[in-house]
Structure 1
């Protein structure tokens, strides 16, 4: 059975740096991680992309990037970052749907991490 640190690192995150931001408090981290999955940032990004509103898409992606970066969710952060910079520049890209899909996939992986950290994969 894997512990919190092992699951976190297996996901691809830096446990020590993240826990330093959370003063070593795994319970506080989990409360905030749960909030991420109740947040509407991901759906706001999708809706803005669907509406071809690059400004709103940038705002949603930038906010999401900050949150997942602070949460230490490195793979998800990297996926979000890939869409932030072209949106920041106001560039029109045909690959925004595939970049958004990559974010959704990483979001699902982060959700599986959350479930594992809650004890689904631990004794």
Structure 2
């Protein structure tokens, strides 16, 4: 249990708050975490940004924000929050590609966190 708490802390996530959402069940959390990485919201966000479709980009980012927040992936959640609000207003901005790159990098870190939990390794 302490190793799991340490892994959450090293990743930047709140173990207690996250595990409350999953009734304290690590197996349940890991199942839902795997499902999170099967979702295509990240790819939809990138494709919508490439196409200049800010409405579709907002929808994908908003979904990613909610799911990453529910999964306790705080660093990814924070990165997604930075793009959601400007997209909500439909404002065209030149920094969307940079914000998306930050999200992609945090997504990779979250995936590494997931794999470390499954192996029982520290992050």
Fold match by TM threshold 0.5 = yes
Q: Does 1:97 align with 2:97?
A: yes
Q: Aligned partners of 2:9, 2:121: CA distance in 1, in Å?
A: 14
Give the aligned partner of residue 46 of structure 2.
Answer: 46
Give the secondary structure class of the aligned counterpart of 1:3: helix
Matches within 5 A, 1:1-20: 3-20=3-20
Q: Which residue of 2 aligns with 1:61?
A: 61
1:31 and 1:53 mapped to 2: Cα distance? Answer: 32
TM-score by length of 1: 0.95
Task: Find out whether 1:118 has 2:118 as its counterpart.
Answer: yes
Cα distance in structure 1, aligned partners of 2:103 and 2:120: 23
> How far is the alpha carbon of 1:120 from its aligned partner?
5.5
Query: Unaligned stretches of 5+ in structure 1?
Result: none
**Aligned length, in residue pairs:** 121
Distance 1:18 1:9 in 2: 12
How far the C-alpha of 1:83 sits from its partner, in A, is 0.2
**Counterpart Cα distance in 1 of 2:90 and 2:58:** 8
1:72 maps to which residue?
Answer: 72
Give how far 1:68 is off. 0.3
Partner residue in 2 for 1:31 = 31
* Cross-structure match for 1:107: 107
Runs of 4+ in 1 over 3 A off after TM superposition: none
